[in-house]
Amino acid sequence: SEDPAGFRDQVSILFAEWYRICELPGANDAAFNHFILQLHQNGLLKGDDMTDRFFRLLTEISVAHCLSSEVINSGALQSPQQIQNLSFLAIDIYAKLVFSILKGSGKTALLSRILAVTVRFIQKDAEEKKGSFNPRPYFRLFINWLPDLGSLEPIVDGANFQILTAFANAFHALHPLKIPAFSYAWLELVSHRSFMPKMLTGNSQKGWPYIQRLLVDMFQFMEPFLRNAELGPPVHFLYKGTLRVLLVLLHDFPEFLCDYHFTFCDVIPPSCIQMRNIILSAFPRNMRLPDPSTPNLKIDLLAEINQSPRILSEVDGALKSKQMKADVDEYLKTRQQGSSFLADLKQKLLLPPSEAASAGTRYNVPLINSLVLYVGMQAIQQLQARSPHAQSTANTVTLAVFLVGAALDIFQTLIVELDTEGRYLFLNAVANQLRYPNTHTHYFSFVLLYLFAESTQEIIQEQITRVLLERLIVNRPHPWGLLITFIELIKNPRYNFWNRSFIRCAPDIERLFESVSRSCG
């Protein structure tokens, strides 16, 4: 509904008054507080509809002022690359007003309200302006707020965290799939040193799910564009920026990447091997990884190999959403030979044709990922249940027990029944568990090697090799469990690797394997 008559003028007069106070030399808190008291007395800060109108108009005035400064420059011939000089004076003054209001009140509810007004304003502006939307005024607004508000004295316990989550929710409401024209500014704000690290430090990791959700927002936006090997300059620029953010996370917060690897692998396309390797290479900072090329390395003697990794993602989410979990549990428990469970499996992993086109694959990749990891986790649990005393490692539980089991039936059915694409996605789901030393790495490494040894079709052995190799020939980093598995495959005569014809299927492939065998010692 329309603003009350004259309200807009009233707000711009107040804003001009605030600007004058700020520009006074040696302006002090008393003048600020007096002005803010007036706003309270005018009923503008109650947190009601008038409050929303007040801040929306202030946003409009300060953004318009900022963009009007751009108009002046456009007289000069403007090549797209030429950077507009914008004046952020009004934006900074407005940001300071919000900060001054909140500093005194300590009420995060008002901040949430102001952020909601700001988000709606940006969404509307982006929808109206489309290609001519300019994200920079809004970027500057948040750049003002994040360091100041994010470090406000916690007047009430946990106030800081509430402020940070208010920003996290605002960023989620502005994510690239909603406002693609805000994508670059958005990633810079989400990864800002006054925000992301604070969300990932302290507060007993309560901030982790928010950052995970924001990263998923980023990956989901890029996913369709990253399926192609060739990226246009805008996408490549965004991709490189995301790599930088992931490297900061890998270096400073590896446990965060470890614990959410499953979710991230769902939204990173299989073709983004290096980006996925960054996530899979993360390992807890207190862990020391033995060099994979150590001769006769006995990984099942490593203490960590018996510890299950922490997984914060909802592993069985996709299984549940497709009503498959009960059938899987039933089969794992009873291993009913007669049941049609195994026979129907492949069909259930396919996407409806209507979704296949936009998904870029005929298969439901998150469902395959969920099935593989969930089944593996159940198998590991069964193993640990059978030999609680020795904290199961494969060499304490006879290999036979380990390898037979319902889980292996499922994996063997998939590896034989699926077509090349399906098998590739299945093997990817398995290879995504080859990370730092833990029970999953151990188990899925066995599964891959077992499927290689037991399969009668060379195409399967070739595809297993390919899935491992394509993750190794990309630039570093390479996950520890991946190296361990590949070295075992090429060194252990049980797999008869060097007599497989496919390693000589072309001269450059032959050379590739020779160089690999040299580098793996």
Partner 1 sequence: DLGAIGDNLGGSSMTTGGMHDQFYNLQMLEAAFYKLPQPKDSERPRSYTPRHPAITPPSYPQVQAPIINNPALWDRLGLETYGTDTLFFAFYYQPNTYQQYLAARELKKQSWRYHRKYQTWFQRHEEPKVATDEYEQGTYVYFDFHVNNDDLQHGWCQRIKTEFTFEYNYLE
Partner 2 sequence: LGIDLTTLGLNLNSADNLHKTFGSPWSDEPAKGDPDFNVPQCYLIK
| Touching partner 2, residues 218-257 (CB under 8 A) | 237, 240-245, 247-248, 250-252
Among 193, 320, 333, 466, binds partner 2 (CB under 8 A): 193
Considering the complex, state which of residue 44 and residue 196 has its C-beta at the smaller distance from partner 2.
Answer: 196
153 near partner 2, rule: CB under 8 A: yes
Among 150, 197, 360, 477, binds partner 1 (CB under 8 A): 360
Among 280, 365, 373, 447, binds partner 1 (CB under 8 A): 365
Q: Measured from the CB of residue 194, what is the shortest distance to partner 2 in angstroms?
A: 6
Q: What is the DSSP string of 21-38?
A: HHHSTT--HHHHHHHHHH
498 near partner 1, rule: CB under 8 A: no
Interaction with partner 1 in 16-55: which residues (CB under 8 A)?
25-26
144 near partner 1, rule: CB under 8 A: yes
103 near partner 1, rule: CB under 8 A: no
* Binding pattern for the stretch 389-428 against partner 1, x by CB under 8 A and - elsewhere: ----------------------------------------
Q: Distance from CA of residue 407 to its chain's centroid?
A: 29
92 near partner 2, rule: CB under 8 A: no
- Which is it for the CA torsion 422, 424, 427, 429, positive or negative? negative
Q: Distance from CA of residue 49 to its chain's centroid?
A: 36
Among 21, 235, 487, 516, binds partner 1 (CB under 8 A): 235
Considering the complex, state which of residue 62 and residue 313 has its C-beta at the smaller distance from partner 1.
Answer: 313
Residue 273 contacts which entry, partner 2, partner 1, none (Cβ below 5-8 A, type-dependent): partner 2
134 near partner 1, rule: CB under 8 A: yes
* Pairwise CA distance, residues 313 & 511, whole Å: 40
CA distance between the termini of the chain: 74
Residue 191 contacts which entry, partner 1, partner 2, none (Cβ below 5-8 A, type-dependent): partner 2
210 near partner 1, rule: CB under 8 A: yes
Rg (CA), the chain: 28
Considering the complex, state which of residue 425 and residue 503 has its C-beta at the smaller distance from partner 1.
Answer: 425
CB distance 429 to 448 below 8 Å? no
Q: Is the peptide bond before 292 cis (omega within 30 degrees of 0)?
A: no
* Pairwise CA distance, residues 521 & 94, whole Å: 63
State the Cα angle at 106 between 100 and 110, rounded to 5°.
80
CB distance 500 to 494 below 8 Å? no
Among residues 164, 160, 184, which one has the least CA distance to residue 174?
184
Among 52, 60, 188, 327, binds partner 1 (CB under 8 A): 188
Among residues 120, 117, 88, 114, which one has the least CA distance to residue 102?
114
Q: Measured from the CB of residue 188, what is the shortest distance to partner 1 in angstroms?
A: 6
Considering the complex, state which of residue 241 and residue 317 has its C-beta at the smaller distance from partner 2.
Answer: 241
* Pairwise CA distance, residues 7 & 49, whole Å: 13
What number of other Cβ atoms are within 10 A of residue 346's Cβ? Answer: 17
* Pairwise CA distance, residues 244 & 322, whole Å: 35
Among 34, 46, 64, 147, binds partner 2 (CB under 8 A): 147
Phi (first) and psi of residue 291, to 5 degrees? -60, 125
312 near partner 2, rule: CB under 8 A: no
Among 133, 184, 225, 502, binds partner 2 (CB under 8 A): 184
Distances (CA, A) of 396 to 160, 300, 347, 488, 512: 50, 10, 37, 20, 37
Residue 407 tokens read as 């889980």
Residue 154 contacts which entry, partner 2, partner 1, none (Cβ below 5-8 A, type-dependent): none
What number of other Cβ atoms are within 10 A of residue 365's Cβ? Answer: 21
Residue 193 contacts which entry, partner 2, partner 1, none (Cβ below 5-8 A, type-dependent): partner 2
221 near partner 1, rule: CB under 8 A: yes
Interaction with partner 2 in 423-482: which residues (CB under 8 A)?
473-477
324 near partner 1, rule: CB under 8 A: no
* Pairwise CA distance, residues 271 & 217, whole Å: 18
* Pairwise CA distance, residues 487 & 448, whole Å: 13
329 near partner 2, rule: CB under 8 A: no
Residue 473 contacts which entry, partner 2, partner 1, none (Cβ below 5-8 A, type-dependent): partner 2
Residue 323 contacts which entry, partner 1, partner 2, none (Cβ below 5-8 A, type-dependent): none
- The residues of the shown chain that bind partner 2, judged by CB under 8 A, are 147, 151, 153, 184, 187-188, 191, 193-194, 196-197, 237, 240-245, 247-248, 250-252, 273-275, 277-278, 473-477
